[in-house]
Chain A
Amino acid sequence: MSTPTVSHVEGAIGQSPKRIEDDRFIRGKGNYVDDVQLPGMLFMSIYRSPFAHATINSIDTSRAMAMPGVLACITGKDLEAHGLAWMPTLAGDTQAVLATDKVRFQGQEVVAIIAKTQPQAEDALEGIDVDYDPLPVIIDPKHAMDADAPVVRTDLEGKTDNHIFTWESGDADATDRAFEGADIVISLDTLYPRIHPAPMETCGCVSDYNTATGKMTVHLTSQAPHAHRTLFALVAGLPEHKIRIISPDVGGGFGNKVPIYPGYVVATAASLLIGKPVKWIESRSENLISTGFARDYHMSGELAATKDGKMLGLRATVLADHGAFNAQAAPSKWPAGFFNIATGSYDMPAAYCKVDAVYTNKAPGGVAYRCSFRVTEAAYLIERLVDNLAHKTGIDAAELRKMNFIQPEQFPYKSPMGWEYDSGDYDKAMDIALELVDYKALRKEQAEKRERGEVMGIGFSSFTEIVGAGMSKICDIAGLAMIDSAELRIHPTGKGVLKLGVQSQGQGHETTFAQIVANELGIPSTDIVVEHGDTDHTPYGLGTYASRSTPTGGAATAIVARKLREKGRQIAAHMLECAPDDLEFDSGTFTVKGSPDRTKTIQECIFKAYQSELPEGMENGFEDVTYYDAPEMTYPFGTYICVVDIDKGTGAVTVRKFVAVDDCGTRINPMIVDGQIHGGLTQGFGTAMMELISFDEDGNCFGSNFMDYLIPTAVESPHWTLGECVTPSPHHPIGAKGIGESPTVGSPQAIVNAVVDALTPYGITNIDMPLSSHKVWKALRDAGVADE
C-alpha cells in the first residue's frame, strides 16, 4: 500500500491549511496545566537546597506548619515510609524525590509544602529550618574522577567514585591506522555548554486523586503521557488502569517535559494522602535550576585528512557532565545517545568515539533539547572540525564539504560507526544554499572588507541528523519499545477522529496528522479531529521528542488510514460488483478501471460500513488502530550558511544573514515545516550567542532566571532565509523524515564557524559558545587587534 493519487483533496499533503489548534489559542482558550482550577484544590511549593553538597542533619518544619493555611510539610523521611523517597530515572539511575541523606545540587528538592492557597504555600517556605553540614563540592567534571574528588552518589552501594559509564563506538584500531596515514590532523577541544530548553510554560501538574473510585488523574506538562503513566505505575505503585494522565495544551517542551520530576511525584503522593487535588506549578527559577538541562559535553575531536582535504577518519573523546543523578533522556542501549552519528555528512573510512560520563554537584539531566539524543553535540563537533580543516588546507569550506559528501548513489549508506543512512543528496542542498546566499559575492565582499580592516565571516554547517526513534530492536526507554500508534475512527457521515500516542507541544499535530488522513482517504483534512494527550482516550505511544512524531506516529497514521482505505475498497467492490483489484482510487473516489461512470466515494463506503449487507465476513464499523515500529531511523539533512559582522570595538557579533536549506523528506504542511525551522534556528542562535547555565566553584548556579539565562528576543534574532530540498525517505510510508530538530542541531556551528572564519586572519581557531561579546573582544585584543 503506497501513497495514493491525490489530485484534489482539501488539506492533503503538500498543502498548507491553517492550523486547527489556533482557533483556541488566538482566543486565549488554550488549556494549559496552570489553567486547570479544580474545586478544593490545594497548592504545593518546594523548599530547595541552597547548598550544592551538604549533609542534612535535621529538618524542622514546625514554624511552617504553624503558618496560615499550611496543611502539610512533606520531607524525604515521610516519603521513605511509602517507598517514594527515590525514583528511577529514564537512564536507569535513581534520583532523590526529596533529599533524605544529603543534598547533591543547589536547588535540589528538600521539603514540599501543601497549603490552601498559592501565596500561603510560598510564604511558608520561610518557615522551613534545615540544619546542613556543607560538604566539599565537585563542580568541574574534569576533576570528577580525581582520587580525592568528593563522591556525589554515596547512596549507591559500593560507589567510591563519580564515574557513570564509558561508552565506545566504531573501530579504534582502524581509526588509528587512518590517522597514521594522514597528512593533516585537525584537533579541537570544545565545550558544548550546559543550556536549558526553557519552554515558555514551565513544568507542573495538578494531581487529583478520587478517593471514591481510587483513580488518580494527573494533569501534567508532559511530552510523553503514556510512558509517564507507566512510570507513575512503576514509581508510585499505583495500578496503571487507575492512572489517567492528561497532558492538555503544552506550552512548549523541547525535551524539558520528557523526564518525570520530583515535584510531580510529591504532588501526586500528596493528593493520594490528603484526598484532594494538589497543584504544583514550577516558577521559572525552579525550572532553570532543577529540571532537565541539556548538552554539557566536553569534546575533543580529531579529524584526519590528506593534504588535498580528503577526510580519512574521525576520533572523538567526550567527557559528559550529567550532574548529580543520571537523568538524561536516551534509549536504554544508548548511554551517549546517537553521538556516534558524528561522521555526519562525510564519507570517511574510519571513526571511533568514546564517551565517559560523570556525576557532579549540579542539577541532573542531559535531556535531548530539541535533539535526537546527543546528535546536536555530534553534529557540532564534526562541522567545527571541517571548517577548521578548510582553514588549515586553504580549501574553500564549501568545496571541501562537497569533496567529502556521501554521494546520492551511496545510499543506503553504512557509516563507519554503524548507522545506515536512508537517503540524501547533500550536494543539492549545498548548491541551493550557495545560490541563495550568493556565495561568490560574499567572499568578494569579505576580501574587500579585510583589506579595510573590517571583520566579517562566513560559516557553514552541512549536518546530517538521525531521528525517528524508532526501531524497537535497538531502542527502548525504561524497557518500553519506542513504537507509536494511531487509532482512526470514521463516523457514518464520513467525518471522524484520529487518536494519537504522540503529544503536540506546538508542532501542529491537530493539523498535520489530519492532513495525512486526508491524503490517504481523500477526505478533507477538516473532517478529521485529532486527539492526543489523554491516556484514557488514546492508544499507547512513547510521545513526542527527538523529532519522532512524524517518523513514527505519522507513519502509524498513514498505515491505519491505508487499512481503512482497503476496507473501503472491499466495500466499494462489493457495491459495484467488481473485484477490489479492478478499482482505481483517486482523491476519495473508487472507480472501476475503464468505466469512469461506475464510482463510489469513500464517504459512501464509510456509510455502508455502518449498514447491513456488507461483504461476506466483514464486520461493521470503520475504524482501526496501528502500532508502528520503524524499520530504520530517518536521516534529515541540510546546509546552513551564516554571515556575521564583528564590531572590533566591543566584540559584538551580528548575524547579518542566515540561509537554511533543509531536507526533511516529504513536507506534509510546508507552512508548519517553515515555522518549525524558524523556531529551531532561533533556539540554535540562542545557544550559539547567549544561553548558558554556569556555576561558581561552590556550585552556585548562574542562569537561574530570565535576567541571567538569556533567550533571544525579536530584536537580536536574525531574519531567517529558507530554501528547500526534498529527498523522501525510502522506508517511511509517506517519505517524511521529521523536521523539528534539524535547525537546532544544525545552526549553532554555522554561527561559530562564521565567527571563527572572521577571526582566522588573526590566528584564532576556536571560541566556545556562547559567543558573548567579551569572549570575541578578548580574542581580538589578545591577537593585538585595535578597536577602530
Chain B
Amino acid sequence: MSGKMAITTTVNGEEHEVLVEPRMLLVNMIRESLHETGTHIGCDTSSCGACTVLLDGRPVKSCTILAVQANGREITTVEGLETADGLHPVQEGFKEEHGLQCGYCTPGMMMTSVALLAENPDPSEDDIRKAISGNLCRCTGYVNIVKAVQYAAKKQQGVTA
C-alpha cells in the first residue's frame, strides 16, 4: 500500500507505534515523527554517515533504510546513549579528547564507535580509522576522534575489568 502503514518499533528502549508512508526513510521517521533530531542528514547518496543509528545493534545509514523496515526492530540513536548511570564512555571520550567541532557528524560517528567497541573492545588506530570510514567529518581531521574512541575503550575496559 502506498497509504500509511502502522509499524511498531523500539527506539532507545521505548516502544513506538508510528504511521508511516512506505517511502519514508528511517531517518525522517526518527527526526520528524519521533522528534529526536540528534540523527542528522548530510548527503543524498548514502555517503556521509551523519544519519548512522544502530539497527539491532549494528550501525547502519538510516537514510538508506525505509522506516517500515524498522517494524519489530530495535533502533538506538544518539539520544539513547546516556543512561541513568551517566554518559556513555564514547560520549565522554568525544568530549575529553576534543573529538568534535561543529558536532554535525558527531552523533553518527559516536554510534559507529559504540558498535565498534562492542565488537572489538581494544581497537588499534588502524581498526578505528577503518571502522569510522563510512562517517565523514569535515572539521576534526579524525585524529581526535581516534583518541576519543581509544579513551572510551580504556574506560570501558576499566569498568569491566
Direct contact of A and B (CB under 8 A): yes
- Contact present for A35 and B138 (CB under 8 Å): no
Among B40, B94, B137, contact of A22 (Cβ-Cβ < 8 Å): B94
List CB contacts (< 8 Å) of B70-110 with chain A. Answer: 77-79, 81-82, 87, 91, 94-96, 98, 100-107, 110
Known: A251-B40, A507-B101. Is A714-B138 also a contact (CB below 8 A)? no
Q: Is A32's beta carbon under 8 Å from chain B?
A: yes
- Contact present for B106 and A198 (CB under 8 Å): no
Tell me, in angstroms, the Cα distance from A115 to B131 when the chains sit together: 40
Q: Is B50's beta carbon under 8 Å from chain A?
A: yes
CB distance from A398 to the nearest CB of B (A): 25
Which residues in B have some Cβ–Cβ distance to A below 8 Å?
A: 21, 23-24, 28, 31-32, 35-45, 47-48, 50, 77-79, 81-82, 87, 91, 94-96, 98, 100-107, 110, 125, 128-130, 132-146
CB distance from B51 to the nearest CB of A (A): 11
- Residues from chain B with a CB closer than 8 A to the CB of A251 are 40, 42, 102-104
CB distance from A481 to the nearest CB of B (A): 28
- Contact present for B42 and A200 (CB under 8 Å): yes
- Contact present for B38 and A200 (CB under 8 Å): no
- Contact present for B95 and A22 (CB under 8 Å): yes
List CB contacts (< 8 Å) of A181-213 with chain B. Answer: 198-202
- Contact present for B101 and A26 (CB under 8 Å): no
- Residues from chain A with a CB closer than 8 A to the CB of B142 are 678, 682, 713-714, 717
- Contact present for B107 and A28 (CB under 8 Å): yes
Among A19, A678, A705, contact of B95 (Cβ-Cβ < 8 Å): A19
Pairs across A and B, CB under 8 Å, 12 listed: A28-B78, A32-B37, A119-B24, A249-B103, A252-B104, A252-B138, A284-B44, A506-B139, A674-B98, A675-B98, A679-B140, A706-B136
Q: Is A681's beta carbon under 8 Å from chain B?
A: yes
- Residues from chain A with a CB closer than 8 A to the CB of B103 are 21-22, 24-26, 30, 249, 251, 506
**A-B CB contacts (within 8 Å), total count:** 175
Known: A34-B41, A705-B45. Is A119-B138 also a contact (CB below 8 A)? no
Tell me, in angstroms, the Cα distance from A580 to B137 when the chains sit together: 51
- Residues from chain B with a CB closer than 8 A to the CB of A23 are 95
Among B41, B102, B145, contact of A505 (Cβ-Cβ < 8 Å): B102
Q: Is A254's beta carbon under 8 Å from chain B?
A: yes
Tell me, in angstroms, the Cα distance from A201 to B136 when the chains sit together: 11
CB distance from A483 to the nearest CB of B (A): 25
CB distance from B15 to the nearest CB of A (A): 20
Known: A27-B79, A284-B42. Is A713-B36 also a contact (CB below 8 A)? no
Q: Is A719's beta carbon under 8 Å from chain B?
A: yes
- Mask of A244-260 contacts with B, CB within 8 angstroms, 1/0: 00000111101000000
Closest to A197 in B: B138
- Contact present for A719 and B101 (CB under 8 Å): no
Tell me, in angstroms, the Cα distance from A671 to B143 when the chains sit together: 12
Known: A34-B41, A252-B139, A679-B138. Is A672-B106 also a contact (CB below 8 A)? no
Apart from A27-B38, A713-B135, list 16 A-B contacts with CB within 8 A: A23-B95, A25-B106, A27-B82, A28-B37, A29-B38, A32-B37, A201-B104, A252-B102, A508-B101, A675-B139, A675-B141, A676-B101, A679-B101, A713-B132, A714-B142, A720-B143
- Residues from chain A with a CB closer than 8 A to the CB of B28 are 118
- Mask of A26-53 contacts with B, CB within 8 angstroms, 1/0: 1111111011010000000000000000
CB distance from B76 to the nearest CB of A (A): 11
- Residues from chain B with a CB closer than 8 A to the CB of A672 are 98
CB distance from A526 to the nearest CB of B (A): 14
- Contact present for B104 and A199 (CB under 8 Å): yes
Q: Is A715's beta carbon under 8 Å from chain B?
A: yes
- The CB with the most chain A CB atoms within 10 A, among B37, B103, B128, B135, is that of B103
Known: A27-B79, A706-B48. Is A200-B102 also a contact (CB below 8 A)? yes
CB distance from B85 to the nearest CB of A (A): 15
- Residues from chain A with a CB closer than 8 A to the CB of B78 are 26-28
- The CB with the most chain A CB atoms within 10 A, among B50, B81, B101, is that of B101
- Residues from chain B with a CB closer than 8 A to the CB of A711 are 136, 138
CB distance from A26 to the nearest CB of B (A): 4
Q: Is A519's beta carbon under 8 Å from chain B?
A: no
Q: Is A786's beta carbon under 8 Å from chain B?
A: no
Known: A29-B38, A30-B38. Is A283-B44 also a contact (CB below 8 A)? yes
- Contact present for A713 and B133 (CB under 8 Å): yes
Grouping DSSP codes into helix (H, G, I), strand (E, B) and loop, the A interface class, with mixed when no group exceeds half, is loop
Interface residues on A, range: 35 or more
- Residues from chain B with a CB closer than 8 A to the CB of A678 are 140-144
List CB contacts (< 8 Å) of A250-298 with chain B. Answer: 250-252, 254, 283-285
- Residues from chain A with a CB closer than 8 A to the CB of B140 are 675, 678-679, 682
CB distance from B126 to the nearest CB of A (A): 9
- Contact present for B38 and A28 (CB under 8 Å): yes
- Residues from chain A with a CB closer than 8 A to the CB of B94 are 22, 26
Among B21, B36, B133, B136, contact of A28 (Cβ-Cβ < 8 Å): B36
Q: Is A360's beta carbon under 8 Å from chain B?
A: no
- Contact present for B138 and A199 (CB under 8 Å): yes
- Residues from chain B with a CB closer than 8 A to the CB of A198 are 138
- Residues from chain B with a CB closer than 8 A to the CB of A199 are 102, 104, 138
Closest to B131 in A: A714
Tell me, in angstroms, the Cα distance from A671 to B41 when the chains sit together: 28
- Contact present for A37 and B32 (CB under 8 Å): yes
- Contact present for A506 and B36 (CB under 8 Å): no
- Contact present for A714 and B102 (CB under 8 Å): no
The 3 closest A-B pairs by CB, nearest first: A28-B38, A506-B102, A251-B104
- Mask of A703-718 contacts with B, CB within 8 angstroms, 1/0: 0011100010111010
- The CB with the most chain B CB atoms within 10 A, among A18, A28, A679, A717, is that of A28
Known: A251-B103, A679-B101. Is A715-B129 also a contact (CB below 8 A)? yes
Among A26, A31, A682, A719, contact of B106 (Cβ-Cβ < 8 Å): A26
Tell me, in angstroms, the Cα distance from A648 to B155 when the chains sit together: 44
Closest to A722 in B: B143
Closest to A18 in B: B95
Q: Is A683's beta carbon under 8 Å from chain B?
A: yes
Tell me, in angstroms, the Cα distance from A706 to B110 when the chains sit together: 21
Closest to B143 in A: A678
- Residues from chain A with a CB closer than 8 A to the CB of B125 are 719
- Residues from chain B with a CB closer than 8 A to the CB of A26 are 78, 87, 91, 94-95, 100, 103, 106, 110
- Contact present for B45 and A200 (CB under 8 Å): no
Tell me, in angstroms, the Cα distance from A682 to B42 when the chains sit together: 18
Among A28, A677, A680, A706, contact of B39 (Cβ-Cβ < 8 Å): A28
Tell me, in angstroms, the Cα distance from A251 to B101 when the chains sit together: 9
Among A25, A30, A119, A201, contact of B42 (Cβ-Cβ < 8 Å): A201
- Mask of A447-480 contacts with B, CB within 8 angstroms, 1/0: 0000000000000000000000000000000000
Tell me, in angstroms, the Cα distance from A198 to B105 when the chains sit together: 13
Closest to B126 in A: A715
CB distance from A233 to the nearest CB of B (A): 28
CB distance from B132 to the nearest CB of A (A): 5
- Residues from chain A with a CB closer than 8 A to the CB of B24 are 119
- Contact present for B105 and A200 (CB under 8 Å): yes
Tell me, in angstroms, the Cα distance from A10 to B31 when the chains sit together: 38
- Residues from chain A with a CB closer than 8 A to the CB of B47 are 705-707
CB distance from B151 to the nearest CB of A (A): 12
- Residues from chain A with a CB closer than 8 A to the CB of B95 are 18-19, 22-23, 26
- Contact present for B101 and A284 (CB under 8 Å): no
CB distance from A552 to the nearest CB of B (A): 20
Tell me, in angstroms, the Cα distance from A717 to B137 when the chains sit together: 11
Tell me, in angstroms, the Cα distance from A505 to B103 when the chains sit together: 9
- Residues from chain B with a CB closer than 8 A to the CB of A254 are 138
Tell me, in angstroms, the Cα distance from A529 to B132 when the chains sit together: 33
- Residues from chain A with a CB closer than 8 A to the CB of B82 are 27
Among B37, B45, B96, B130, contact of A706 (Cβ-Cβ < 8 Å): B45
Tell me, in angstroms, the Cα distance from A34 to B27 when the chains sit together: 13
- Contact present for A18 and B102 (CB under 8 Å): no
- Residues from chain B with a CB closer than 8 A to the CB of A713 are 132-136, 142
Known: A37-B35, A705-B45, A706-B43. Is A714-B104 also a contact (CB below 8 A)? no
CB distance from B138 to the nearest CB of A (A): 5
